[in-house]
Structure 1
Amino acid sequence: MALTDLKVRNTKPTDKQQKLFDERGLYLLVTPAGGKWWRLKYRFGGKEKSLSMGVFPDVTLKEARERRDAARKLLANGVDPGIERKVRRAGAAERAANSFEAVAREWFAKYKPGWAKSHADKIMGRLEKDVFPWLGGRPIAEIAAPEVLAVLRRVEARGALDTAHRVHQNCGQVFRYAIATGRAARDVSADLRGALPAASHTHFPSVTEPSEVAELLRAIDGFKGTFVVQCALRLAPLLFVRPGELRTAKWAQFDLDKAQWRYTVSKTKTEHLVPLATQAVVILRELHALTGRWQFVFPGRDPKKPMSGAAVNAALRRMGFDTKTEITGHGFRAMARTILHEHLRFPSEVIEHQLAHKVPDALGTAYNRTKFIYDRIKMMQAWADYLDALKSGAELVPIDTLSRTA
């Protein structure tokens, strides 16, 4: 007799397995542990076989019968339903391995070691928030340009146009990696060039007028916070490195006798050399007496860790400066770049090398830590002297660096 829902539900386990048969090969296997498994008994190629139809109550009697009927249709067409299921599962596993998310995470893992942590976190944050929910499960080879555009439009609609452009860029990188690894034939994101309005980039606020720089420098000298933060503030305009590189500086990287600081640039992973003006060496020697026994030049509350990334900006706000419109720790770089070129007349390529920017030359070298080193040594000392003169209120005129360094 055919099974009923009541019979299936009320059957209790015993110390032996039970088989409750329905119709056309379907039966319920009840285990001593209480499990109830739907099975289909069938013959194919002269052999008796069994195929799982699911577990009760997740799969009801009605659903089990529907699965049985689908399997019997395959048998009628000369297809073994057990083999067909294995093929289908293998295909699903392959599609999952070649999904956009799987390829993106593989690409990310490959290139992450060469990125700064903050950069890597931003990339994965964008993918997880703005891409994976819609494209993550799709086989990357089957994704079409309109699907990517829909993702970009969602980001644009919330007013994050710059983020939308970055998402577009990251999607292109994933597609090109998929092409290189044989998972896709083309980069469909390339079809979307011009689909988004151009983003208007905003720069870190900075002070670039000499009179305002003088005011800022005098305010730094009057800072009433900790000596460590005060030294970081005094060194920030002298060195104009990236804020994260300044706060994580280690004493082992410095040779104060040679007036040099050598470290690896966080953004490009290239070696960089910062010539130290005499004023910077004086500040560092003072600070070494306090923090020299620690690893970091600017230790935080836990001296085994560097000071907070918010410390310099917080100090600027305490001094009355608006870090959204006037100056930030990063703004010292723009200050130096502008004044060194416009007022001290140093060549832009010398300044760019000191800023640790990639500056391709005629030989194709993207970056050379010792390029223009003698010019950079002179420039760093001239810059420190200029800042001292500004702070003291001296009237300054542009320097003809070309004749001075000839």
Structure 2
Amino acid sequence: MPAAKPLTVKSIEAIKAGSSRREIPDGALQGLYLIVQTTGVKSWAVRYRHAGKPRKMTLGGFPAISLSDAREEARKALRMVSEGRDPATEKAEQEPKRPAHMDLMPALLDEFVTRHVAVKNRPSYVRESKRIVEKNLKPKWKQKLVKTVTKRDVLKLLDEIVDRGSPIMANRVRALLSKFFAWAMERDIVDASPVVSIKAPSEEKTRDRILTDEEIRFLWLAAEKLAYPFGPVVKLLLLTAQRRTEVSDALWDELELEGNNQLWVISVDRAKNKKEHFVPLTASALEIIEGLPKIKPAEDEKAKPIYLFTTTGKTPVSGFSKAKTQLDGEMLAIARKEAEERGEDPEGISIEPWTYHDLRRTAASGMARLSVPVHIVEAVLNHRSGSIKGVAAVYNRYDYAEEKRAALTAWADEVLRLVGRAAPEAGAF
């Protein structure tokens, strides 16, 4: 067998995850190994013999522990072995005992969200992760130690979620658990992940659903029947073509309502693609915004309103699934009433399922139908890819402001035409 090559930082970073766990020896120091999990997580370990038996001591994760630090720690451990001591045992005795309850799944999931998810992700993803933890994981594994969670446990949980009619949620749970156990391995809480080799329970197909002109009318009329905050949210989703969380989490400080160039500026922190985004506010969008209540935290009368859409003044609106059910019911009721007035059988009327994201696609398609060039539509959507590339992409930071305003105005006028409403006059606010 050829001698192992000394590891380098470059060679370590180039190592990719494989189909099985690997231990790669460091040719520069016998006994030091780089452990590469199938998830791509990398860590250090020292292998040695003590009292005639093979032993292993985990040093920690890479890159938190660098190559040079790992070699230094490994040398210390091997010197202890040469003195007849067992470094793994002594390390365990010196480390403070971790309270047993901290290795229960609920406590560790909370720690994972606080130390990992909340630090590295957008607020909307953090909220969704917390919701998944509270609804799907904690109730199922509230008394389970993390090291006792098996592949069978995970599969059973995912099957139950699929069976209750939520296959896409099962995919989300699997993805979050995969990240959770990778984090736990990196922190040396568990040795392996039970999620490895478990595929997503359901295939997610790219959607191409757009609402018809008649469905747009039903949607708008139904939104008018919904109280704040969901009715205005749905209208702005359709008029602005922005993402759901970008609209639902909108801040009053993001709005520039003075003068003749009213804008909504979505910051880098809130935009999905981490690119600051300028959304021109049309007269129709401004009319909706001007009608919104400004809700402050109840206990702080001097506080400024933060969120456009909130019921507490402290957090953005939630409960979109329930609102969607109500919205679907109102749309269907309107459609059936009109069918009955035409002398048709109302029971034969149905509305094809749709999602909030379909409103964004509907708006984009509507602007294209109004002859808006594709690169302007992409600018409205804040898409990175498309026809604007190279140097042009760098110098178009303002992203075709006037063209976007014209496109959104034309689309808003078209929506109101379909609904049978007159567009408000520009500058009326």
Give me the TM-score of the superposition, normalised by structure 1.
0.52
Taking only aligned residues, the RMSD between alpha carbons, in angstroms, comes to 5.2
* Aligned match of 1:167: 173
TM-aligned CA deviation for residue 197 of structure 1: 4.6
Deviations 1:71-130 (A, max 9, x none): xxxxxxxxxxxxxxxx99x99856654555554332122134343254033221222134
Aligned with residue 176 of structure 1, among 170, 182, 201:
182
Q: Which residue number corresponds to residue 388 of structure 1?
A: 413
Query: 2-side partners of 1:282 and 1:97: how far apart?
Result: 50
* Residues 102 and 108 in structure 2, CA contact (< 8 A), matched pair in contact too: yes
Q: Distance in 1 between matches of 2:115 and 2:310?
A: 32
Q: Deviations over 1:339-395 (max 9, x none)?
A: 345664643x765564456769999xxxx99966433651342232144146447xx
**1:205-240: CA deviations, max 9, x gaps?**
975334654x4588489x578799876565442213
**1:255 Cα offset (Å):** 1.1
1:333 correspondence with 2:336: no
Identity over aligned pairs, percent? 15
Structure showing greater radius of gyration is: 1
Q: Distance in 2 between matches of 1:362 and 1:344?
A: 18
Superposed counterparts of 1:126-145, under 5 Å: 126-132=136-142, 136-139=144-147, 144-145=150-151
Note if 1:208 corresponds to 2:216. no
Task: Supply the distance in 2 between the matched residues of 1:131 and 1:220 (Cα, whole angstroms).
Answer: 40
Distance, in Å, in 1 between the alignment partners of 2:160 and 2:173 is 11
Match of 2:64 in 1: none
Alignment partner of 1:123 out of 113, 128, 132? 132
* Deviation, structure 1 residue 261: 0.9
- Residues 1:324 and 1:106: Cα distance change in structure 2 (over 3 Å): farther
The Cα of 1:309 is off from its aligned counterpart by 5.7
CA distance in 2, matches of 1:168, 1:339: 36
2:109 aligned with 1:104, yes or no?
yes
Cα deviation per residue 1:15-49 (whole Å; 9 max; x = unaligned)?
A: xxxxxxxxxxxxxxxxxxxxxxxxxxxxxxxxxxx
Q: How does 1:212-223 map to 2 (within 5 A)?
A: 212-213=215-216, 215-216=217-218, 219=221, 223=224
What amino acid does structure 1 have at the position aligned with 2:255? Answer: F
Q: Which whole-Å CA distance do the structure 1 matches of 2:152 and 2:319 have between them?
A: 40
Q: Which residue of 2 aligns with 1:26?
A: none
**What corresponds to 1:238 in structure 2?**
239
Query: After superposition, where does 1:196-345 map in structure 2 within 5 Å?
Result: 197-200=201-204, 207-210=210-213, 212-213=215-216, 215-216=217-218, 219=221, 223=224, 234-243=235-244, 245-256=246-257, 257=259, 258-264=261-267, 268=272, 270=274, 272-280=276-284, 283=287, 287=291, 295=305, 298=308, 318=330, 320=333, 325=352, 330-341=357-368, 344=371
Partner deviation per Cα, 1:50-77 (whole Å, 9 max, x = no partner): xxxxxxxxxxxxxxxxxxxxxxxxxxxx
Asked whether the equivalents of residues 178 and 196 of structure 2 are also in contact (C-alpha less than 8 Å), the reply is yes
The answer to whether the 8 Å contact 2:248/2:316 transfers is yes
Equivalent residues of 1:243, 1:329 under 8 A apart:
yes
Closer/same/farther in 2, CA of residues 182 and 269 from structure 1, 3 Å limit = farther
- Whether contact under 8 Å (1:155, 1:161) holds in the other structure is yes
Paired with 1:217 and 1:388, the residues of 2 have a C-alpha distance of 16
Q: Secondary structure at the match of 1:241?
A: coil
Deviation for aligned residue 1:138:
4.2
Aligned residue for 2:264, secondary structure, equals strand
Shift of 1:273: 2.5
- 1:190 and 2:190 are equivalent in the alignment: no
What TM-score, normalized to structure 2?
0.50
Number of aligned positions between the proteins:
293
SS in 1 for 2:197: helix
| Distance (Å, rounded) in 1 between the aligned partners of 2:285 and 2:377 | 20
Deviation at 1:177, TM superposition (A): 0.6
Write out per-residue CA displacement over residues 140-159 of structure 1, whole angstroms, 9 at most, x where no aligned residue: 6xx55344334434444545
Unaligned runs of 5+ in 1: 1-86, 394-406
Q: Distance in 2 between matches of 1:381 and 1:98?
A: 57
**Distance of 1:300 and 1:326 partners within structure 2:** 27
